[in-house]
Amino acid sequence: MKKFLQFIRPAIFIAILGLTFASCSDDKDEPIDFNQLPTISQNFIKTYFTNVEIVNIIYEKDKNNHEYEVDLENGFELTFNKEGDWTDVNAPNGQTIPDGIAPESIANYVSENYPDYGINEISKEKNGYDVELTNGLDLNFNLQGEFTGIDR
């Protein structure tokens, strides 16, 4: 019995410690309503996705990141940062994002160099834009919208 208690006490301590850290976590995913989105996000959706029903909006919060994930009835997935600016627009496979979302220089580059394909997904990152075409090709652009390379 004494050996059993020597084993069980540390196990209980570790379990309690683990539960304590898990309950102190700042990670939080919370469903919200459209009117709880930042105004910039609301205007973006009203501009580019008129008359498209919103299926789900989740406010995701962790220690390093706060963002809004929006799923639309037509299969589009939108991501906005905590200020409300879009960071990712993802169309269903084979479809293209609406005109006007991608910076003009990027849209022009794609139409001139890949006239048979459109932009299926665009992500705004800290160093530039990542663009996936409807043929699966990934293109990279800097913050000024200048082509910098192809991801392979």
pLDDT of residue 28: 81
Give dist(CA 87, CA 98) in Å, integer: 15
CB 104 within 8 A of CB 65: no
pLDDT of residue 62: 86
Query: Per-residue pLDDT for the chain (152 aa), expressed as one digit of tens each?
Result: 444 445 455 544 454 444 444 444 456 899 999 999 999 999 999 999 999 999 999 999 988 889 999 999 999 999 999 999 999 999 999 999 999 999 999 999 999 999 999 999 999 999 999 999 999 999 999 999 999 999 97
In 3D space, the residue among 115, 152, 151 whose CA is nearest the CA of residue 134 turns out to be 115
